[in-house]
Amino acid sequence: MLYRSAIEVMRAHYIAGLAALDNGDRAIASEMFSHPISEIYVDLEPVIESLGGQAMMDEMNRAAVLHFQDASGDEIRAAVDEVVRLLDVNQDVAPEADPAAAPAVHAAVLASLIERAALQYEFAAQQEDASGAWLDGYGLERAAARYAETTLDDVRAADADGASAIADALDLLATAYPGAQPPETYDPEPAVVLEAANAAADAAGAMDAAPASDGAAGGG
Instruction: Please give the average pLDDT of every successive group of 10 residues along the chain, which has 220 residues.
Output: 97 98 96 97 98 98 97 98 99 88 96 99 95 97 99 98 99 98 96 99 92 42
Give me the number of domains the chain comprises: 2
Domain final residue pick, 95, 116, 147: 95
| 3-class secondary structure per residue, 121-177 | HHHHHHCCCCHHHHHHHHHHHHHHHHHHHHHHHHHHHHCHHHHHHHHHHHHHHHHHC
Same domain? For 133 and 173 the reply is yes
pLDDT of residue 211: 56
Same domain, 91 and 146: no
149 shares its domain with 56: no
Domain range for 105 is 98-210
pLDDT at 96: 81
Q: Per-residue DSSP letters for 16-27? A: HHHHHHHTT-HH
The structure's pTM equals 0.93
Instruction: Report how far apart, in Å, the C-alpha atoms of 197 and of each of 62, 166, 169, 172 are.
Output: 35, 8, 6, 9
Please give the pLDDT value at position 91. Answer: 97
In a domain, 202, yes or no: yes
Same domain, residue pair 157 and 87: no
Sign of the C-alpha dihedral computed for residues 18, 21, 25 and 28 taken in this order: positive
The answer as to whether 217 is a domain residue is no
Domain match, 4 and 28 both:
yes
Are 80 and 140 found together in one domain?
no
Question: In the listed set 48, 71, 95, which residue is the last one of a domain according to the structure?
Answer: 95
Same domain, 180 and 201: yes
- Separation in Å, CA 3 to CA 47, 102, 181: 8, 14, 30
